[in-house]
Amino acid sequence: MIRDERLPSGELQRIDEAVRGNWHTGDDVDFEEAVAYHESLPREKQFARVLETADRPLLQPRAGVPCLDDQIDLLRHLEQDGLADLLPTTIDSYTRDNEYGKAKQGLEDARESGDDTLNGFPAVNHGVSGCRELIEALDRPIEVRHGTPDARLLAAVTFAGGFQSFEGGPISYNIPYTKEGSLEQTIKHWQYVDRLAGAYTERGVRINREPFGPLTGTLVPPCIAIAVMLVEGLLAATQGVRSLTLGYGQVGNVVQDVAALRALRELGEEFLPDEVTVTTVFHEWMGGFPPDEARANGVIGLGAATAAIARPDKVITKSPQEFQGVPTKEANAAGLRTTRQLIDMLIEQDITIDGIGEEQELIERATRSLMDAVYEHGDGDVARGVVRAFESGALDVPFAPSDSAAGDVLPARDDDGRVRIFAFSDLAVSDETKEIHEARLDDRARSEDRDRSFAMVADDVDAISDGKLIGRPTGGETDAD
Amino acid sequence: MIRDERLPSGELQRIDEAVRGNWHTGDDVDFEEAVAYHESLPREKQFARVLETADRPLLQPRAGVPCLDDQIDLLRHLEQDGLADLLPTTIDSYTRDNEYGKAKQGLEDARESGDDTLNGFPAVNHGVSGCRELIEALDRPIEVRHGTPDARLLAAVTFAGGFQSFEGGPISYNIPYTKEGSLEQTIKHWQYVDRLAGAYTERGVRINREPFGPLTGTLVPPCIAIAVMLVEGLLAATQGVRSLTLGYGQVGNVVQDVAALRALRELGEEFLPDEVTVTTVFHEWMGGFPPDEARANGVIGLGAATAAIARPDKVITKSPQEFQGVPTKEANAAGLRTTRQLIDMLIEQDITIDGIGEEQELIERATRSLMDAVYEHGDGDVARGVVRAFESGALDVPFAPSDSAAGDVLPARDDDGRVRIFAFSDLAVSDETKEIHEARLDDRARSEDRDRSFAMVADDVDAISDGKLIGRPTGGETDAD
Amino acid sequence: MAQTVILGVIGSDAHVVGITILEQTMEAAGFDVVNLGVQSSQQEFASAAAEHDAEAVLVSSLYGHAEQDCQGFHETLRDAGTDAVTYIGGNLAVGQNDFEATRERFRRLGFDRVFDSETDPQEAIAALRQDLGHRNAETKERVSA
Amino acid sequence: MAQTVILGVIGSDAHVVGITILEQTMEAAGFDVVNLGVQSSQQEFASAAAEHDAEAVLVSSLYGHAEQDCQGFHETLRDAGTDAVTYIGGNLAVGQNDFEATRERFRRLGFDRVFDSETDPQEAIAALRQDLGHRNAETKERVSA
Ligand code: B12
Ligand code: B12
């Protein structure tokens, strides 16, 4: 069974060759030549350096379109009109499924019709030289953002193509993103990705890796998100990754969000080896958005305000068109500027909110329980432990579409809007933690004069898109007919 | 000289007749008939009742166009698409100058050309029946918002026309709005307006009065704004006003804004007679806006977040087009919805920020000094006192265009972004207060490595429109050439 | 007897929250729901519909590739011998499209009804009641004829 | 000798912050500024320009009535016997207008330059330097001719 051990270099090479054979653009990957290419890049394009030396939260949007020229235009717009500090390249869904043939078809259709027939940039199809053209055309560092369970070829091509940051991880890009992929298998695949990043790192090219913190984006309790971040961070560190950005998706309660980001940073520092530089990224609300740009700006505003108080190293912004579909470049830049204005107006203010310490304490305690369970399930090995913990339900993610997770844990907001756990199922947290969560949810049930039930969960899922934080039953409407 | 005494009823009648003779629509004003008309209005249009019984901050935009039909369409849009709780009718500048002839011309031009040749609704020209048509066409209560130093005819016509709320006051609609009007004269004019409101109130028609808190909208130190609110509140109460909404314009520092709103409410309760119901209104940032709708949404977002924490009774919203000119109705509604989303997401959260008590204490102390000075200057009479305090500079407003104010006080932000007083001139605050302000500004000067100077003031005036709260010197740019 | 409805997310789309809510609401409304989950193929929809003799097939798609994923969908259903009513809903096109055009495209692909992502689950239930009631009535007519 | 500039807000407009900043910046740049303040009439501008033999008259308007307020402005100046360069700036139309059209309108009213509300005071100073330098040169030519 899988172990959290560094891939031996022979093994790396063997996989490397096999993977590169999956699509013809893999042939152009040459590690030595790629290291030299990275060395030729100017300092402003060194992702890890730019991020780790920043003295304020850097802003980064999401963005990807099929054709290279369009992607250059799009990113240039976000750089110039959005003043993005860091740029993204979001990969299309076919590439995420390793369906390079379908992606090729989509790309050809896009080139002919001018329509965006793919929901992202098929980097493998564009190959090493296409990626480099992109890197060279822009002034800021660019990250690969995707959702690919088996991202080996994507990593090989994009690292050789000059990208120095790569989102995802074996859990965070499996559990929320796919139904059938086995967790053990994805960990193996990501050991390769991380080892490859480690190999570059050893040659002085620090590839930044960013586990995807928001998971399903839908009311994920902070302890679960942070535990997954720690596990993925540990797995990556084992493979030689030295620049790690741990992520967290806004839940919308300011105290809980600030507490969670602090817990993430502190536990990250504590759990990860000293030689790893840990940074944090805060994602503006990742759940369902209101179907109205004005209201969406309110959601974005709350995210920005939270970021200004919590001061993560990086913020991933949303656009006011999030609800509708992939945003226009103007809307994407607008989301950046709204966020920028709010952060810049707030960041110099000393805002100390009560109760963050207690909430952080609560989050850390539950996270430690989950981490203990992972280690126990793996007899001290975090790779084996995480697979088994997901199998047993000791670790679980709400709304997980994956067969590898029980998906039995259900979250709901308490009376203050903090995300609590409504159904624990087999989640490995202490009875004390459970009692606290239950007590808070009981408070809410009382103040709404209804029982704790799935209706609360469903109401909370819709709440923000309906204009509120907490899904309270509304006087007039009823769900019954 | 002027005294803070209730106008005798004979005097009220005498002025009333004189005022109504100023423009022919005054002839249609009949107090008894008007009281009956107000009594016929449904409960949802009773402004004071709706505001005073609300259990959450009510939202109100600003809006006024010349023609009646257009004004109805505009307000209906703000009611339906903006979900405004309270509606406004903003009056044009000619009416504010009592130039009803010019307003008539503008209105005729507007009707012919379809262009908005006036910057607001000329309510006097529309007359009692025009106002009533407006009141009847909408579902929410509507307030007259203007900026008229001599608003006697406007009040007579609009009260008879069914409006139950009237913004402004003798100081707040003089000092920021006009150059030559004498303060004594405006107080006399507003004694009439307030007495008329009082006369309706005695007949069971509670007219809500709202002194204009933001004054010049530009870095007004809270103690000054609050002192003016208390003075205007006292003057109105003397004339029989029983529903008073005291205002305050956001300065952008969350702690200071929350502290100021609390100080406003508490001092309001303390200074005003028990029979007056005091409510508060928070104005989203009233100074220069960024020339970019996305950034403007950030400014609006910060205002909304502050409102959710401070919980005033009412919030006056801005639109993302504030910089450019009078907003389209869509942009106006968008500002409402962005604000609504943010407030509704935050309002149920328990957010207690450190240091609000101390800041409130500081504001209250300075406000009390100013009020003491007013009473002293008037030998116990607030009307006389305020005129003389402005004459001597004991009371002053920064950037006041009026000859009645010294306009020598200059504000600047401290290192945390709170508005402090940079030049006190003759402002009647204690040495202790001065030392605190100076010390805070010295901290900022030190951290910017420059002297306290007018450059700081100028930089702060532009800061928010340039994307920051504090006007720090920027490395690259210099003001010298 | 409760009416059986097949529900799933087509293609390689993994957005599961919408169908989770739909499943719960439809079950509460008395339907038998067979939830195929995310990333379901055309064949899986067709087999399930045939196997359960389903009266409706509800396809969800959020990620923007619905049109490609649904090419030939109704043939696949027909080949499996099912003539269930078909609905599709979610975020059906990449980008900021005009929904009416999108609706038209999916109608032409053979879907009986097309829903946008603002759809309340209750609307889908109301539509099902109408469409399935109608089919039952038709069946009865045919029987009595 | 420092060049004299008349500055003020026209009509019944009371927006004072812009001219306060303009005044300070122009004085720092070495101009003699006569600030008429807000709510200044055409006649006040004209008299001040004549009295101070001003080389430029800078009109500010924020509140949206500039066009009405400036009808006949240049005649009033001429009648007072001044041929100063005239600038106008601020928020020159009610509502969300296209600035190019607005600029054209005020050019036609006779203003030498028209500035929008995004104008940095330094731009106005640069323009003054150019225009007044030029006029001085012209004057010299006329004298030497
Ligand atoms: C949460 C979320 C995610 C989560 C999903 C977690 C999970 N496994 O479920 C994560 C972060 C993993 C994710 C990933 C991706 N996402 Co996503 N995601 C969202 C988001 C924010 C909310 C979706 C949601 O859960 N809504 C709440 C539920 C209750 O509503 P719903 O899904 O709309 O369903 C309701 C209705 O639509 C309707 N309905 C739905 N289906 C059907 C079917 C029928 C028959 C009927 C009658 C009704 C109906 O009823 C449902 C219940 O009320 C949306 C944007 C938004 N809407 O705000 C983007 C969005 C759907 N995602 C998008 C994209 C592109 C992706 C990615 C491809 C790439 C990316 N940007 O990361 C990947 C795809 C991965 C994959 N293989 O599928 C795009 C789709 C673009 C488009 N169509 O043009 C969106 C619109 C975001 C955007 N603006 O770019 N996403
Ligand atoms: C603060 C403010 C107020 C304060 C003014 C206090 C005072 N006495 O100064 C108060 C609250 C009292 C007020 C009142 C009104 N206001 Co006002 N106000 C503003 C606001 C928010 C900022 C203006 C400001 O001070 N900016 C900061 C300074 C530094 O910039 P500036 O004034 O633009 O000046 C710079 C440039 O424009 C340029 N410039 C200006 N003039 C000139 C001239 C020349 C020759 C040159 C070269 C350059 C130049 O250089 C300046 C320095 O950098 C603006 C909207 C905005 N811009 O964000 C609205 C705005 C100007 N106001 C507006 C209106 C309508 C009014 C009112 C009529 C009604 C109302 N809505 O309340 C009244 C008018 C009262 C009156 N009689 O004048 C509208 C004008 C609409 C239009 N033109 O289409 C605006 C645009 C708001 C809006 N979107 O509706 N206002």
Q: What whole-number distance in Å separates Cα of residue B469 and Cα of residue A237?
A: 40
Look at residue B331 in the predicted model and tell me its pLDDT. 98
Does the pLDDT value for residue C144 go beyond 70?
no
Q: Is C30 exposed, middle or buried (0-12, 13-18, 19+ CB in 10 A)?
A: exposed
Does the pLDDT value for residue A480 go beyond 80?
no
User: Which ligand has the minimum distance to the alpha carbon of residue C6?
Assistant: 1
Q: What whole-number distance in Å separates Cα of residue D75 and Cα of residue D72?
A: 5
Compute mean pLDDT per 10 residues along chain D, 145 residues long, and list them.
Answer: 92 94 93 96 97 97 91 96 96 81 94 94 95 60 40
**All residues at 6 or more sequence positions from C30 whose CB lies less than 8 Å from its CB, including other chains:** C2
**Per-residue DSSP letter, B4:** S
Helix axes A123-137, A68-80, angle to 10 degrees: 40
Query: Residues A69-96: what's their mean pLDDT?
Result: 97
In B, minimum Cα distance to A342 occurs at: B298
Q: How confident is the model at residue B479 (pLDDT cuts 50, 70, 90)?
A: very low
Q: Is A292 in the pocket of ligand 1 (CB under 6 A)?
A: no
Indicate yes or no: CB of D24 within 8 angstroms of CB of B180: no
Q: Is D57 exposed, middle or buried (0-12, 13-18, 19+ CB in 10 A)?
A: buried
Q: For A170, what's the count of Cα atoms within 13 Å in the CB-facing half-sphere?
A: 29
Indicate yes or no: CB of A355 within 8 angstroms of CB of B353: no
**Chains B vs C: touching, with 3+ CB pairs under 8 Å?**
no
Indicate yes or no: CB of B97 within 8 angstroms of CB of D12: yes
Look at residue D54 in the predicted model and tell me its pLDDT. 96
* Alpha-carbon distance B327 to nearest alpha carbon in chain D (angstroms): 6
pLDDT in tens, A401-437: 999 999 999 999 999 999 999 999 999 999 999 999 9
D residues 71..90 contacting B (CB < 8 A): none
Look at residue C135 in the predicted model and tell me its pLDDT. 54
Structure tokens at B219: 């870095």
Look at residue B57 in the predicted model and tell me its pLDDT. 98
Structure tokens at A321: 């068109």
With an 8 Å Cβ cutoff, is C109 touching chain A?
no
User: Which ligand has the minimum distance to the alpha carbon of residue D92?
Assistant: 2
Q: Which of B61-65, B293-297, D130-134 has the lowest mean pLDDT?
A: D130-134
DSSP codes of every residue in B409-442: -EEEE-TTS-EEEEE-TT----HHHHHHHHHHHH
Can you tell me which residue has the tokens 């339907």? C31
pTM of the model: 0.95
CB A143 within 8 A of CB A210: yes
| E runs forming strands in B142-276 | 142-145, 165-167, 208-210, 243-249
Look at residue A285 in the predicted model and tell me its pLDDT. 98
DSSP codes of every residue in A214-279: TTTSSS--HHHHHHHHHHHHHHHHHTT--EEEEEEE--S-HHHHHHHHHHHHHHHHHHS-TTSEEE
Q: What whole-number distance in Å separates Cα of residue A273 and Cα of residue A267?
A: 11
Query: Residues A377-383: what's their mean pLDDT?
Result: 98
Which atom of ligand 2 is nearest to B218's Cα? 1
Q: How confident is the model at residue A44 (pLDDT cuts 50, 70, 90)?
A: very high
More confident residue, A159 or A12: A159
Q: What whole-number distance in Å separates Cα of residue B131 and Cα of residue B108?
A: 17
Indicate yes or no: CB of A179 within 8 angstroms of CB of C37: yes
Does the pLDDT value for residue B92 go beyond 80?
yes
Nearest partner of C66 among C10, C17, C8, judged by Cα: C10
> Catalytic residue positions of B?
96, 167
Q: What whole-number distance in Å separates Cα of residue A164 and Cα of residue D16?
A: 52
Indicate yes or no: CB of B119 within 8 angstroms of CB of D117: no
With an 8 Å Cβ cutoff, is A117 touching chain C?
yes
Q: Whose CA is nearest to atom 52 of ligand 2?
A: D18
Q: Which of B177, B317, B324 to mutate to test the pocket of ligand 2 (most atoms within 8 A of CB)?
A: B177
Q: Whose CA is nearest to atom 16 of ligand 1?
A: C63
Look at residue B1 in the predicted model and tell me its pLDDT. 86
* Residues in C touching A97 (Cβ below 8 Å): 12
Does the pLDDT value for residue A303 go beyond 90?
yes
DSSP codes of every residue in A332-380: HHHHHHHHHHHHHHHTTS---BTTHHHHHHHHHHHHHHHHHHHHHHTTT
Residue from B91, B104, B119, B409 to probe the interface with D (highest D Cβ count within 10 Å): B119
CB A316 within 8 A of CB A86: no
Look at residue C145 in the predicted model and tell me its pLDDT. 36
Indicate yes or no: CB of C39 within 8 angstroms of CB of A117: no
How far, in Å, is the centroid of ligand 1 from the Cα of C63?
6
Q: Which of D63, D92, D114, D120 to mutate to test the pocket of ligand 2 (most atoms within 8 A of CB)?
A: D63
- The amino acid at residue A161 is G
User: Which chains lie within 8 Å of chain C at 3 or more CB pairs, if any?
Assistant: A
Q: What whole-number distance in Å separates Cα of residue A35 and Cα of residue A17?
A: 17
* Alpha-carbon distance B177 to nearest alpha carbon in chain D (angstroms): 5
Look at residue C79 in the predicted model and tell me its pLDDT. 96
Indicate yes or no: CB of B355 within 8 angstroms of CB of A350: yes
User: Which ligand has the minimum distance to the alpha carbon of residue C99?
Assistant: 1
With an 8 Å Cβ cutoff, is A408 touching chain C?
no
Q: Whose CA is nearest to atom 33 of ligand 1?
A: C117
Nearest partner of C45 among C20, C76, C15, judged by Cα: C76
Which atom of ligand 2 is nearest to D120's Cα? 53
> Catalytic residue positions of A?
96, 167
Chain centroid offset of residue A473 CA:
32
pLDDT in tens, B176-219: 999 988 999 999 999 999 999 999 999 999 999 999 999 999 99
Nearest partner of D68 among D116, D13, D15, D26, judged by Cα: D13
Gyration radius of chain C's alpha carbons: 15
> Catalytic residue positions of D?
13, 15
Q: Is C106 in the pocket of ligand 1 (CB under 6 A)?
A: no
A437 phi/psi in degrees, rounded to 5: -60, -45
**All residues at 6 or more sequence positions from A301 whose CB lies less than 8 Å from its CB, including other chains:** A338, A342, B297, B298, B300, B301, B302, B304, B305, B338, B342
Gyration radius of chain D's alpha carbons: 14
Q: Is A277 exposed, middle or buried (0-12, 13-18, 19+ CB in 10 A)?
A: middle
- ipTM of predicted complex: 0.94
Which atom of ligand 2 is nearest to D21's Cα? 52
pLDDT in tens, A305-334: 999 999 999 999 999 999 988 899 999 999
Q: How confident is the model at residue C6 (pLDDT cuts 50, 70, 90)?
A: very high
| Averaged confidence pLDDT in chain B | 96
Which atom of ligand 2 is nearest to B461's Cα? 29
Does the pLDDT value for residue C142 go beyond 90?
no
Which atom of ligand 2 is nearest to D16's Cα? 9
pLDDT in tens, C43-72: 999 999 999 999 999 999 999 889 989 999
* Residues in C touching A287 (Cβ below 8 Å): 17
* Residues in B touching D63 (Cβ below 8 Å): 93, 119
Query: For chain B, what's the residue count?
Result: 481
Query: Residues B215-234: what's their mean pLDDT?
Result: 98
More confident residue, A9 or A329: A329
* Residues in D touching B219 (Cβ below 8 Å): none
Q: How confident is the model at residue A478 (pLDDT cuts 50, 70, 90)?
A: very low
Q: What whole-number distance in Å separates Cα of residue C122 and Cα of residue A294?
A: 26
Nearest partner of A418 among A374, A360, A476, judged by Cα: A360
What is the rounded end-to-end Cα distance, in angstroms, of chain B? 52
* Alpha-carbon distance A338 to nearest alpha carbon in chain B (angstroms): 5
* Alpha-carbon distance A350 to nearest alpha carbon in chain B (angstroms): 6
Residue from A92, A118, A220, A324 to probe the interface with C (highest C Cβ count within 10 Å): A324
Q: Whose CA is nearest to atom 85 of ligand 1?
A: A325
In D, minimum Cα distance to B218 occurs at: D17
Query: Residues B443-462: what's their mean pLDDT?
Result: 93
Look at residue C1 in the predicted model and tell me its pLDDT. 60
pLDDT in tens, B253-285: 999 999 999 999 999 999 999 999 999 999 999
Q: What whole-number distance in Å separates Cα of residue A247 and Cα of residue A283?
A: 7
pLDDT in tens, B113-160: 888 788 899 999 999 999 999 999 999 999 999 999 999 999 999 999
Q: What whole-number distance in Å separates Cα of residue B60 and Cα of residue B312?
A: 12
With an 8 Å Cβ cutoff, is B204 touching chain D?
no
How far lies A395's CA from each of A185, A367, A392, A413, in Å? 18, 10, 7, 20
* Alpha-carbon distance D110 to nearest alpha carbon in chain B (angstroms): 21
Q: How many CB atoms lie within 10 A of CB B202?
A: 12
**Per-residue DSSP letter, A26:** G
* Residues in B touching D13 (Cβ below 8 Å): 93
